[in-house]
Amino acid sequence: MSFKALPKVELHTHIEGAAPPDFIRGLAKEKNVDLSGIFAADGGYAYRDFWHFLEVYEAATSVLNSPQDYARLTRAVLENCAEAGVVYVETFISPDFCGGRDVSAWRDYLAAIQDAAAEAERDAGITLRGIVTAVRHFGPDAAREVARCAQQTAGGFITGYGMGGDEKSGKQGDFAYAFDMAREAGLKLTTHAGEWNGPDEVRAALDDLRVERIGHGVRAIEDPALVDRLVQDGITLEVCPGSNVFLGVYPDLAAHPIARLRDRGVKVTVSTDDPPFFRTDMVKEYEDLSRQFGWDAADFKALNLTAIEAAFCDDATRERVRKIVEAQDV
């Protein structure tokens, strides 16, 4: 069956990571920037491993340097999401890249992104919410400045605060102050953990940052007591199977723990992370999961209900999207 028409809820994307390569190539040409080194012969992004991926990601992002660029990016990204049947999506947005962590510049970038999102909502019926994101390898001081940007713009479109980047850099606990700032501003919290590091990293995210969702979190499977805790505490995992397989966290989907985590009662959801970087989209994710684990439309409907339950949006938005998912025939 085709999964394209299923209404989908996606909790874990990075706005720059969702940039179509053609879009970045076009912007580089307009700005006379030579980015030829980050593209493969077929036009897609090229990199060797996760750490090189982060470098290529930042190189691609270097041509996004005005609010207008981000407005165009938002339109391109939401068009692709809507095409894959996504009706609600949350995306990580970094003040590091949007105005260099300056609050007033950040406001301008955010206004442009929000305008573009409102346009997409009108035209394609897709809803976007933003999670302000620190980049772990930029360090705790930068994360505090990012949290200050988050504080100043919390509410409505900006629903959460999170952290991505190199999980091997520093400790989750180094960022506790920044996460406390965001929590005090009423934001919901998530952090990348248990993608490259093991269960201890997930435990640190829960103990030190007190997040309610975890980006990836899949390596929790290595510690049964931690899996029990995830179930008991109702922590939702933003699982990105295609990303994990493409980057080599697991050799193939058969080895990926998403189905085992789900069978143990963990709240798992499905997202694409940085779709063009991993040559994926939500339809492909569903097709691959269906082929590997036998999941059908009813399974995906249940996953999408879990996802909207864990979405960081206000309750009126949640209710509206939940009805769309619930109306899906299975």
Minimum CB separation of residue 14 from ligand ADE in Å reads 4
Minimum CB separation of residue 320 from ligand ADE in Å reads 29
Pick one of 96, 201, 274, 285: the residue that binds ligand ADE (CB under 6 A). Answer: 274
Q: How far is residue 32's CA from residue 69's CA, in Å, rounded to a whole number?
A: 15
Q: Which of 110, 100, 93, 114 is nearest to 19 (CA)?
A: 93
Residue of 16, 90, 195, 285 with catalytic role = 195
Q: Binding to ligand ADE by residue 194, rule CB under 6 A?
A: no
Element (H or E) spanning 128, and its range? Answer: strand 127-135
CA angle 156, 172, 245 (to 5 degrees): 85
Side chain identity, residue 84: A
- x-marked contacts with ligand ADE along 291-320 as a string, rule CB under 6 A: ------------------------------
- x-marked contacts with Zn ion along 140-169 as a string, rule CB under 5 A: ------------------------x-----
Q: How far is residue 213's CA from residue 192's CA, in Å, rounded to a whole number?
A: 9
Looking at the Cβ atoms of 149 and 245, the one nearer to ligand ADE is 245
Minimum CB separation of residue 319 from ligand ADE in Å reads 30
195 is annotated as an active-site residue: yes
Pairing of strands 158-164, 127-135: parallel
- Asked if 121 and 127 touch (Cβ cutoff 8 Å), the reply is yes
Pick one of 75, 101, 192, 322: the residue that binds ligand ADE (CB under 6 A). Answer: 192
Q: Which of 8, 12, 9, 10 is nearest to 190 (CA)?
A: 12
Residues 232-251 that bind ligand ADE (CB under 6 A): 243
CA distances from 212 to 217, 231, 234, 268, 282 (A): 12, 12, 8, 13, 23
Looking at the Cβ atoms of 164 and 199, the one nearer to ligand ADE is 164
Minimum CB separation of residue 164 from ligand ADE in Å reads 3
Instruction: Return the structure tokens found at 96.
Output: 């590091």
Q: Binding to ligand ADE by residue 165, rule CB under 6 A?
A: yes
Category of 194 on φ-ψ map: left (φ > 0), alpha (ψ -120 to 50) or beta: left
Q: Binding to ligand ADE by residue 195, rule CB under 6 A?
A: yes
Q: How far is residue 201's CA from residue 193's CA, in Å, rounded to a whole number?
A: 6
- Asked if 152 and 107 touch (Cβ cutoff 8 Å), the reply is yes
Minimum CB separation of residue 47 from ligand ADE in Å reads 12
Instruction: Return the structure tokens found at 309.
Output: 């339950």
Closest residue to Zn ion, Cβ-based? 273
Category of 33 on φ-ψ map: left (φ > 0), alpha (ψ -120 to 50) or beta: beta
Pick one of 16, 273, 281, 285: the residue that binds Zn ion (CB under 5 A). Answer: 273
CA angle 290, 127, 153 (to 5 degrees): 125
Residues 26-85 that bind ligand ADE (CB under 6 A): 57
Binder of residue 262, out of ligand ADE, Zn ion, none (CB less than 5 to 8 A by kind): none
Size of residue set near ligand ADE by CB under 6 A: 10
- x-marked contacts with ligand ADE along 118-157 as a string, rule CB under 6 A: ----------------------------------------
Minimum CB separation of residue 244 from ligand ADE in Å reads 8
Closest residue to ligand ADE, Cβ-based? 164
The residues that touch ligand ADE, with contacts defined as CB under 6 A, are 14, 17, 57, 164-165, 192, 195, 243, 273-274
The residues that touch Zn ion, with contacts defined as CB under 5 A, are 164, 273
Question: Active-site residues: which are they?
Answer: 195
